[in-house]
Amino acid sequence: MLLQTFIIARNTLVESLRQPIFFVLIIASGLMQALNTAISAFSMGYTETSEVHGDNKMLLDVGMATVFVMGMVLAAFQATAVISREIEDKTILTIVSKPIARPTVIFGKYLGVSIAIIMATLIMVTFMMFGIRHEVMTRASDTMDMPVVVFSMSAVIIYGWSFSQIAVVLMTPLVPLAYIITLMISKGWTFQAIGTDFKPQILLACLSLGFAMLVLTAIAVAASTRLSQVMTLVICMGVFVMGLLSNHFLGKRAFLNDFAAIVETAEPDRSEFEDFRAVGARYNLTLNNFPDQSLAPGTPIYYGPSPQGIGMAVPKFTPYEGDPADERLLTANGTPSGIMVKSIDRKTLTIENIGARSLAVERPPREGDYIFTQPTRINPLALSAWSVVPNMHFFWLLDAVSQNRTIPTSHVVRIGVYSVMQIGAFLALAVILFQRRDVG
């Protein structure tokens, strides 16, 4: 079965690369990235960040959006070209008439199309990275980054375009190689350290975008087992848009909570309270806004990284109903464990871990946390729907780059796991749809 899968994948890859639309969309993406350097000079913001600043923020935004949309369209076209068209032309009978299981056909087709999409995404992302290195030409006095122009053009036209599939195969290693060489040469044609213009956070964001392409490819494969090319494209676009809007329509209804304030600074009252797990441990918080809810001594406190109350660092507990000023009662036998407001003065808040036994919090509060006065309620129906629809916001890490937030490698790994689960679900659906499909 494994050998059969690889053979089908190889043939599917060759067939995908032979599609004229494959080469056309890749070149179109490169031309758009080149044009973005001239039309993205309208962001009206010049806040510095670690990797992009000013108008280059918009350049990155438009560039990644170009790759995202082009990849989605490419996945839909390629999946239908190797599945639905073969079903319509009856050529798939040459495969299913042999002792080959239909799930093997689906997995082989997906693997072949995925390799083609990875190749296309690598080339399109490198075109975008060329644009980021070039930067936006905001003034008439700006000059072109000639190393970018020379090496990017050389990687594309040096071998000619006699056959589109050969062009794509050669561009896959040559375009990234040209970018690496460009990183070693400054705008003034002098040698520089390769890390001078290297953007690791952007590359992590692009890697996450690549996972999204693989998920969209699985959706396209599932749709193409029953639908035509046009309808498959419609389904892919519909899932894409719904994935972008799922947080608004489903996510905010899955977890119900309202935050009272946002932490600006968080410091332990004493050094021994740093982990915030000892009985009587206190933390002094400075809020960056006046609390939206009434916070008074004795008010129960929860905190976490999400404004919806997802991933709370504080477990659910019974609110304290005694006198918050009586220190003996706070740690007396029978006092339930919890976190409460000890004192508050405008934007300064002191919270305390109380109870006969300390509450086992996951971590102490920190900058950027959201403060809540109640545990988060869960809507199972909305949560189930939100979990099924591929959430495109998980793959869109552009905001982290623009806001100078470090993207942890562990977060990208979690996105990879999420992608594998989504791909598995849609391929299982594809197998179900194709299992009883009449191809004769």
Among 329, 350, 375, which residue terminates a domain? 375
* Kind and range of the H or E run holding 177: helix 164-183
| pLDDT tens digits, one per residue of 322-346 | 888 888 889 888 899 999 999 998 8
Cα–Cα dist 117/17, whole Å: 10
Same-domain check for residues 222 and 238: yes
Q: How far apart are CA 175 and CA 153, in angstroms?
A: 9
Structural domain contains residue 381: no
State the distance between the two ends of the chain, measured CA to CA, in whole angstroms.
23
Number of structural domains found in the chain? 2
Residue 84 pLDDT level (bands cut at 50, 70, 90):
confident
Q: Which candidate, 273, 250, 380, 257, places its Cα nearest to that of 316?
A: 257
Same domain, 125 and 186: yes
Higher per-residue confidence, 414 vs 53: 414
DSSP 3-state assignment of 265? strand
- Beta strand extents in 143-222 (DSSP E only): none
Q: Name the band, by pLDDT with cuts 50, 70 and 90, for residue 214.
A: very high
Cα 128 from Cα 397, distance rounded (Å): 15
Residue 426 pLDDT level (bands cut at 50, 70, 90):
very high
Residue 169 confidence (pLDDT) above 60: yes
Kindly tell me the sign of the dihedral angle through the C-alpha atoms of 362, 368, 372, 377: negative
Same domain for 118 and 164?
yes
Distance CA 145, CA 182 (A): 10
CA distances from 8 to 15, 109, 242, 430 (A): 10, 6, 32, 16
Last residue of a domain, one of 352, 375, 398: 375
If asked whether residues 12 and 101 sit together in one domain, one would say yes
Confidence class of residue 422 from pLDDT cuts 50, 70 and 90? Answer: very high
The first and second tokens of residue 163, run together, are 């056959």
Q: 215 and 328 share a domain?
A: no
Lowest average pLDDT, out of 5-9, 86-90, 256-260, 374-378, goes to 86-90
Least-confidence region, from 5-9, 105-109, 162-166, 357-361: 162-166
Percent of the chain with pLDDT over 90: 48
> Can you tell me the mean pLDDT for 209-217?
94
C-alpha 272/C-alpha 283 separation (Å) is: 11
Percent of residues in the chain assigned helix, strand, coil, to nearest 5: 55, 10, 35
Q: How far is CA 363 from the centre of its chain?
A: 25
More confident residue, 162 or 308: 308
Q: CB under 8 Å to 172, separation ≥6 — which residues?
A: 119, 122, 123
pLDDT 10s digits, 225-270: 888 878 888 898 899 899 989 888 888 889 999 999 999 999 999 9
Residues in contact with 266: Cβ distance below 8 Å, sequence separation at least 6, in sequence order? 283, 284, 285, 286, 364, 365, 366, 367, 369
Residue 43's pLDDT is what? 55
Domain termination residue (choose one: 375, 403, 418)? 375
What is the longest distance spanned by two Cα atoms in the chain? Answer: 85
The amino acid occupying position 163 is F
167 with 211, same domain? yes
Residue 79 near residue 223, CB atoms below 8 Å:
yes
Considering the chain, what is the average pLDDT of its residues?
88
Kindly indicate the confidence band of residue 158, based on its pLDDT and cuts at 50, 70 and 90: low
Burial class from Cβ neighbours inside 10 Å (0-12, 13-18, 19+) for residue 401 reads buried
Residue 318 maps to a domain: yes
**Residues 339 and 415 occupy one common structural domain:** no
Give the pLDDT band of residue 75 (cuts 50, 70, 90): confident
Residue 164: predicted pLDDT: 77
The pLDDT assigned to 294 comes to 76
Convert the pLDDT of each residue in 129-146 to its tens digit. 999 998 887 766 677 889
Q: Based on the domain organization, do 241 and 274 belong to the same domain?
A: no
435 and 102 Cβ atoms separated by less than 8 Å: yes
For 253, other C-beta atoms within 10 Å of its C-beta total 15
Is the same domain home to 324 and 212? no
Contact 182, 139 (CB under 8 A): no
Amino acid 213 reads: M
- With respect to residue 380, please indicate whether it lies within any of the assigned structural domains: no
47 in any annotated domain: yes
Q: Residue 49: its pLDDT value, please?
A: 54
Helices 20-39, 55-82: axis angle to 10 degrees equals: 170
Tokens of 38: 């001239």
Residue 440 within a domain: no
Least confident residue range of 94-98, 145-149, 214-218: 94-98
Domain for residue 400, yes or no? yes
What are the residues whose beta carbons fall under 8 Å from the beta carbon of 65, sequence distance 6 or more?
Answer: none
CB contact at 8 A, 68 and 390: no
- Same domain for 297 and 222, yes or no, is no
Q: What is the pLDDT of residues 182-206, one digit of tens each?
A: 999 998 899 999 988 889 999 999 9
* Phi/psi of residue 43, nearest 5 degrees: -80, -25
Asked if residue 279 is part of any domain, the answer here is: yes
CA-closest candidate to residue 418, choices 381, 391, 436: 391
Same domain, 426 and 330: no
Is 382 part of a structural domain of the chain?
Answer: no
Burial class (CB in 10 A: 0-12, 13-18, 19+), 94: exposed
Residue-wise pLDDT for 359-395, tens only, equals: 999 999 999 999 999 999 999 999 999 888 899 988 9
Burial label for 248, CB within 10 Å (0-12, 13-18, 19+), is exposed
- Tokens read off for 39: 């039309």
The confidence band for 430, taking pLDDT boundaries of 50, 70 and 90, is very high
268 and 359 in a single domain? The answer is: yes
> Which residue range forms the structural domain that includes residue 330?
261-375
Q: What is the distance between the alpha carbons of residues 193 and 176, in angstroms, rounded to a whole number?
A: 17
Tell whether the model's pLDDT for residue 7 goes beyond 80: yes
Q: What is the pLDDT of residue 91?
A: 79
Q: Which helix (H) or strand (E) holds 372?
A: strand 370-372
Per-residue pLDDT at 9: 92
Instruction: Tell me the one-letter amino acid at 265.
Output: T
215 has pLDDT over 90: yes
